[in-house]
Structure 1
């Protein structure tokens, strides 16, 4: 099986270890991973801020970049939701520029082929035990897009529960937003910080070593608050936990 990695901006620029872990994990499971070099931002920041027409060229670029991919896999629930939920609607209203109705058809095609990492593992590959080893106590934060737009449900937890050595603790208020929300954190910083404070207070109460999530944007928001407090809790992308093995362990 072949799959194309949709790396996302934040992983490419700030958290490349999550992208590397995704590739290592998929290849360990027998997937041949390609990286289309033409990919750029999916347009989520522009679209969420109200600039729909400025998002259209990025939709076209993503469609072209992943045109021949059977599966498109991304370690980001928010970016997967952008492609799956918003691309067809953006394309339906777009100035076609000579492409006619093909743009909407192509957007729907890409949406149907795009998978968040945990749903690709469980729904496409049909695996829950990925052979990981992670001897640490972990609490899991389900980010809003994965929880509400993609409906990931228990998929991430089922994967974590099968990791050798991992002790999974329940996060109080797990389904509450962490307060990041992209540009929401900039435009409504006081509210965002208050929501983030509640989230890390709950996370610290679990006694976990690691705060795990499927979106590095949310983890970045929480990591900044944890660092300013000097808290020992370490935010870490789910892919890095699942990629960790006895022979190739994760190290802080």
Structure 2
């Protein structure tokens, strides 16, 4: 089991379901706000806004909530002004960690992120201190039922993607970040809305952890992910099957 994408299946979330839902909504609304201000408030003309609206659908955000967020962001008195920031550092055992955030207070967010690293055996580094251990790519995925392996490969190549990985579970298409929106839109036009469409930090080197170190690292990731300013956390760890099964029990 590798990377951050599966850690939520291991760590049991504390707190009520409605509190978790509120946090999800808050993170998506921040992305909608930044997306709407970065271009036109019309999703047809703003690829990032379309992506943010898809994210809202994934967490079942009501349509009127999305529309209010766009209207507020594009209004003359738009309210909170969020900026994008990225933090990089090391967790326990030298695991590389990337934290992406949207914040209206850089000092607060930096302090919170630094404290989380320190408390859980890590250290916050400089920008680009660990990103070289990741590939920054676009990812689009579809269920296997939408197309055959050959059909998806042909469509992805025509759209400008770099690679397609197909299995019984589905198709994962990867591309350069510069090509992401074009690839996503071309595939959506042919196969409908994808299950996943996002920019991702994919580790190109992995650190294998034992149970003790895995528990410590997952606590760090969980604390970071619970921060309202944090949008995503990526880490280059790998868990042996035996450790993953024990933590899942």
Q: TM-score range by the shorter chain?
A: 0.3 to 0.5
Which structure is higher in RCO with an 8 Å CA cutoff and minimum separation 6? Answer: 2
How high is the TM-score relative to the length of structure 2? Answer: 0.32
Higher strand share: 2
How high is the TM-score relative to the length of structure 1? Answer: 0.32
